[in-house]
Each structure stands twice: as C-alpha cells, then as structure tokens.
C-alpha cells in the first residue's frame, strides 16, 4: 500500500508543468519574452533593446523583445498578467501602463499593484518644456507670466492626450495656476515638427525627442521636469530651479513579472539588471538619449508604483482628462 502511494505521488509530480518544478537557481533554461507596450523606435523600445542585448548573455538565454503597442501600454501589461508566473515573460513596465492608465481609462483588466511582481526600476525620462525660437517665452518665468496675462490663448503641443508629456505639463500647470490650449498630436515627432514650424508656440514632450532640436537651435529649452539637470541638456534648468521647489514629473520605466513569480527568479533578474545598468557604456548611451538611470529594488519599486498611481490618478481626475 505504501509503495502504491509513493508511485502515485511520483506520477503526480511528472504531470506538473516543467516550470513548476524548475528551481530558481536553474533559471532560465529557454528564451525569455520581453513585452514592450509601444512601437519600435521610441524611447521605450530603445531601453528595452539595450537591456535585452546586455541581459541575455548574462542569463545565458536570448531575450526576445515583443512590441505590443496599444492603449498607452495597457495591451502589453494585460498580456503580462495573463502569462505564466515562471519568469519567461517580463515587461518593460511604464508609468503610462501602471500609474496613468487607471485614471485615464477607468477600470482596467489588471490591478497595477496586485497583479505585478516589480523587479527593478531602470530609468527616468524627463519631460522637456520648450518653445519656438521666435516665441517671446525666453524662460519658464516668461511663459507663465504670458499665460497669466492671456489665459486660454497660448498653445502647447504634446505627443497625445494622456501622454507623459501632456500629463507632466498638466502637473506643472496645476502647480503654476495657469491654463493653456493643449494641442495633442499623434506622436512626439509630429508635435516637435509643429513647434519648430510655428504651428504651436510651445512643446511638452519627452526629452529624448526634443533635445536634438534644442541643441540644433530649432527649439528653445525652457525647463526639464527631472530632479536634476539632464546630461544631454545641461544648460536647461529644471522646473524646480525656477520657482517650483520639489517639482518632478518622470516618465519612468522598469522591469516587472507576473504576480506569484518565485522570489528567487525576481531577485536573479534584479541582480543581473543592476549589473547591466552599472556598465559604463550603458550609462553613456542613456545619458546621450537624455534618460537617467534610477535603480530601485523590488520593494522600493512597488512602493513607488503605489505613490505614482495615487498622484497621477488624482491629477487626471482634477483636470478632467479622459482618453478613448
């Protein structure tokens, strides 16, 4: 009877999926899928491919970037939470998908805190406020003074309603007590072209899109929303420096796995990603793109997601912003 019980138990173990019995220290034994909620070519894709190219060799397996644009990152985040919690599907988690989408889109098919296992935050992407060179806005102070003198008349282009650029500017507008005409475009490139041509007078967009135009003299930098000045535009002051102490609005990115992923796998990915981000060529590449490396461990990243979710949801509600 005893041998029969043992045989049944052994048969049950064989019936389990291979990943369930796989110890964390053996991970990974096959390629890893890396979801990105935006199309190829943008800042999200750039970061994902940089990390994938360096992390794969450290893990001994290929990391396959899978671009799934839609809903400001919502589609990719939904795909992740429906994946097996075995470490073979991860995502470049974004502020748009985890902290902004709930306020913008209402009820989501996932919970930004409960359904994810944060691994590590990797970068902050500041928003750059800029102006057409012919604009009378020669500084952020000039811009605010002009808007207060002519409320609802001065235009600010952005990469789309609900984009990081749009919402970062809305946070600033709330802090400054101003109201402008927001003009959404379909992409950061289109918004920058509109500002350069004079179709709109000002621009609020991710720094990696606007910085080349500022360096070329096609746009005038007014301020960046990061906590410190950007390496890529060191002469452009932060918003905080210009009379708004403590102001910060980041388009952060990190890595996350489905909830219930074994802790050993989470920690392995955290350690290896830290090593990748510490490499000098990684830092140099991201500095040039205007992206700041900001490392948070799983617990810090989870707490930060909660804070950002509350902050952006409140701003979106107060500003009455909605997207289709």
Neighbours of 41 (CB within 10 A): 11
- Report which DSSP code applies to 137: -
Query: Mean of the pLDDT values across residues 21-42?
Result: 85
127-242 CATH fold: D-Maltodextrin-Binding Protein; domain 2 (3.40.190)
- Start-to-end CA distance of the chain, whole Å, equals 63
How much is the mean pLDDT over the chain?
91
Neighbours of 194 (CB within 10 A): 19
**Is the pLDDT reported for residue 12 higher than 70?**
no
* CATH 3.40.190.10 segments of the chain: 127-242
**Is the pLDDT reported for residue 26 higher than 90?**
no
pLDDT tens, residue by residue, 140-198: 999 999 999 998 899 999 999 999 999 999 999 999 999 999 999 988 889 999 999 99
pLDDT at 16: 39
More confident residue, 106 or 296: 296
* CATH 3.40.190.150 segments of the chain: 28-124+251-319
Query: Mean of the pLDDT values across residues 2-22?
Result: 39
Alpha-helical (H) ranges within 138-187 are: 140-149, 164-176
**Is the pLDDT reported for residue 8 higher than 70?**
no
HSE-CB for 110 with a 13 A CA cutoff: 23
**Is the pLDDT reported for residue 13 higher than 70?**
no
- pTM, to two decimals: 0.86
HSE-CB for 140 with a 13 A CA cutoff: 23
With cut-offs at 50, 70 and 90, classify the pLDDT of residue 23. Answer: low
**Is the pLDDT reported for residue 50 higher than 50?**
yes
pLDDT tens, residue by residue, 89-146: 999 999 999 999 999 988 899 999 999 999 999 999 999 999 999 999 999 999 999 9
Report the distance separating Cα 93 and Cα 209, nearest Å.
20
**Is the pLDDT reported for residue 7 higher than 50?**
no
Look up the CATH number of domain 28-124+251-319: 3.40.190.150
pLDDT at 239: 98
Query: Mean of the pLDDT values across residues 305-320?
Result: 95
pLDDT at 41: 84
Percent of the chain with pLDDT over 90: 80
């Amino acid at each position: 009877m005893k041998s029969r019980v043992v045989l049944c138990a052994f048969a049950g173990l064989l019936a389990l999926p291979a990943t369930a019995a796989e110890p964390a220290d053996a991970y990974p034994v096959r390629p890893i899928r890396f979801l990105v909620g935006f199309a190829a070519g943008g800042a999200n894709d750039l970061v994902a491919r940089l990390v994938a190219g360096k992390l794969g060799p450290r893990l001994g397996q290929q990391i396959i970037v899978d671009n799934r644009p839609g809903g400001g990152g919502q589609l990719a985040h939904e795909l992740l939470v429906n994946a097996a919690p075995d470490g073979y599907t991860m995502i470049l988690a974004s502020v748009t998908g985890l902290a902004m989408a709930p306020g913008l889109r209402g009820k989501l098919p996932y919970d930004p805190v409960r359904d994810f296992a944060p691994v590590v935050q990797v970068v902050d992407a500041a928003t750059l406020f800029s102006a057409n060179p012919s604009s009378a806005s020669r500084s952020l102070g000039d811009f605010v003074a002009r808007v207060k003198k002519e409320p609802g008349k001065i235009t600010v282009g952005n990469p789309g309603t609900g984009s990081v650029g749009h919402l970062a500017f809305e946070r600033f507008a709330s802090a400054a007590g101003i109201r402008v005409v927001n003009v959404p475009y379909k992409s950061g490139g289109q918004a920058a072209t509109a500002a350069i041509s004079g179709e709109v007078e000002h621009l609020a967009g991710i720094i990696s899109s606007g910085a080349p135009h500022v360096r070329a003299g096609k746009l005038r930098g007014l301020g960046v929303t990061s906590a410190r000045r950007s390496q890529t535009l060191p002469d452009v002051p932060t918003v905080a420096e210009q009379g708004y102490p403590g102001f910060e609005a980041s388009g952060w990115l990190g890595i996350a796995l489905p909830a219930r992923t074994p802790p050993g796998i989470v920690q392995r990915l955290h350690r290896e990603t830290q090593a990748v981000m510490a490499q000098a060529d990684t830092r140099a590449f991201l500095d040039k793109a205007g992206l700041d490396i900001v490392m948070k461990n799983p617990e810090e990243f989870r707490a930060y997601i909660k804070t950002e979710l509350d902050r952006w949801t409140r701003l979106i509600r107060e500003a009455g912003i909605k997207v289709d």
